[in-house]
Amino acid sequence: MGATDAQKTADAATDAPTITEDDRRAIREFNSAIRAFESLYDTRAHDLGMPAGTFDVLYALYAEGQGCSQRVLCDRCYANKQTVNSTVQRLRREGLVRMEPGPGRQTRVFLTDEGQRVAQAAIGPVVDAELAVMGEMSRGGRETFLALLRRYVTSMRERFERMGVPAAIRDRGADDGASDGARA
């Protein structure tokens, strides 16, 4: 079922792509997969009795291993400074993280021994599952998957920029985390 010549001409004149039913199906499938993926992590956090933001911060600290700045946490968690700061402060009060001076005016956040124990129990199995899934892919398949995902994110970021999406939202997590081999 192809587009008519008039439709193709109209589409070319407006630079609008011709959208096929196969394109729509692919977009629906991709969006469904992204939401299912996020739901896995949200469900894990819920089952552990913790807010998703807390799970994300613990995950990022666990993945970093050596502590990090709140700016890095914002990038890894795709969250704003206020959200990360309030989560870190709550985790500090609960004895799960400690803060130490870093270079310059920077403060670094570290898991305490108790925080490491909690993260190992809560986040460790997730990281193990992620590593197992990545390990099921061939090296070439994994590299292709990650390259395509990075290209998709970069292209979407560029299109959002053209739509006028604010930079604070657009640039969050500019690292894309693809080189980390894990969620954070």
pLDDT tens digits along 148-160: 999 998 888 888 8
Q: Are residues 106 and 143 in the same domain?
A: no
* Residues sharing a CB contact under 8 Å with residue 90, sequence separation 6 or more, in sequence order: 54
pLDDT tens, residue by residue, 69-83? 999 999 999 888 999
Q: Are residues 43 and 83 in the same domain?
A: yes
Q: Are residues 168 and 98 in the same domain?
A: no
Amino acid at 173: G
**What's the pTM?**
0.76
What's the CA gap between 152 and 177, in Å, rounded?
Answer: 14
Residue 49 in this model has a pLDDT that exceeds 70: yes
Range of the domain at 38: 22-122
Q: Are residues 116 and 158 in the same domain?
A: no
* Residues sharing a CB contact under 8 Å with residue 22, sequence separation 6 or more, in sequence order: none
